[in-house]
Amino acid sequence: MLSNSTILITGGTGSFGNTFVRMTLEKYNPKKIIIFSRDEMKQWEMAKKFKGDERVRFYIGDVRDRERLYRALDTVDYVVHAAATKIVPTSEYHPFECVKTNIHGAMNLIDACIDKAVKGVVALSTDKASSPINLYGATKLVSDKLFIAGNCGSEEHGTKFSIVRYGNVMGSRGSVIPFFMSIKDTGAVPITDPRMTRFMISLEDGVRLVWHAFEDMVGGEIYVKKIPSMKVADLARVVAPEAKQQIIGIRAGEKLHEQMISSEDACYTYEYAEYFKILPMINNWASCPKRIKDGKKVSQGFVYTSDSNPVWMTDDDLQEWIASNREKIGSI
Which residues, at least 6 apart from 41, have a Cβ–Cβ distance to it below 8 Å? none
Q: Which of 178, 160, 170 is nearest to 206 (CA)?
A: 170
Output the CATH code of domain 6-166+202-226+260-304: 3.40.50.720
β-partners of residue 169 are: 201
Indicate the average pLDDT of the chain: 94
DSSP-assigned beta bridge partners for residue 318: none
Per-residue pLDDT reduced to its tens digit, 120-161: 999 999 999 999 999 999 999 999 999 999 999 877 788 999
Q: How many CB atoms lie within 10 A of CB 44?
A: 11
Residue 6 has pLDDT above 70, yes or no: yes
Task: With cut-offs at 50, 70 and 90, classify the pLDDT of residue 332.
Answer: low
Q: Which of 10, 66, 67, 77 minimizes the C-alpha distance to 39?
A: 10
**Per-residue pLDDT averaged across 274-287, rounded?**
95
- Burial string for 91-110 (b: 16+ CB within 10 Å, else e) reads beeeeeebbbbbbebbbbbb
CA-wise closest residue to 269 among 291, 237, 290, 249: 291
The residues annotated as belonging to the active site are 128
Residue type, 15: S
C-alpha to C-alpha distance for 281 and 159, rounded to whole angstroms? 19
Task: Give the model's confidence band at 175: pLDDT under 50 very low, under 70 low, under 90 confident, else very high.
Answer: confident
Strands of the sheet with 56-60, listed across from one edge: 56-60, 32-37, 6-10, 78-81, 120-126, 160-166, 222-225, 275-278, 269-271, 296-297
253 pLDDT more than 90: no
- Mean pLDDT throughout 167-195? 88
Q: Please report the pLDDT score of residue 161 as a whole number.
A: 98
Report the residue count for the chain: 332
Of 166, 180, 141, 160, which is closest to residue 225 (Cα–Cα)?
A: 166
Side-chain half-sphere CA neighbours of 228 within 13 A: 13
Cα gap 167→86, rounded to integer Å: 12
184-193 pLDDT, tens digit each? 889 899 999 9
CA-atom Rg of the chain in angstroms: 20
pLDDT tier, 329 (very low <50, low <70, confident <90, very high otherwise): confident
The predicted-structure confidence for 75-118, as pLDDT tens digits, reads as follows: 999 999 999 998 888 999 999 999 999 999 999 999 999 999 99
DSSP string, 166-232: E-EETT-TTSHHHHHHHHGGGTEEEES-TT-EEEEE-HHHHHHHHHHHHHH-SSS-EEEE---EEEH
pLDDT number for residue 330:
65
Closest CA to 150 of 100, 193, 190, 110: 110
Higher pLDDT, 304 or 182: 304
Give one DSSP letter per residue of 46-58, joined into a string: HHHHTTT-TTEEE
Distance in angstroms (rounded) separating the CA atoms of residues 192 and 110: 37
The pLDDT value recorded for residue 94 is 95
- Domains of the chain, by residue range, sit at 6-166+202-226+260-304
| Beta strand 188-191 pairing with 244-247 | parallel
* Residue 64 binned pLDDT confidence (cut-offs 50, 70, 90): very high
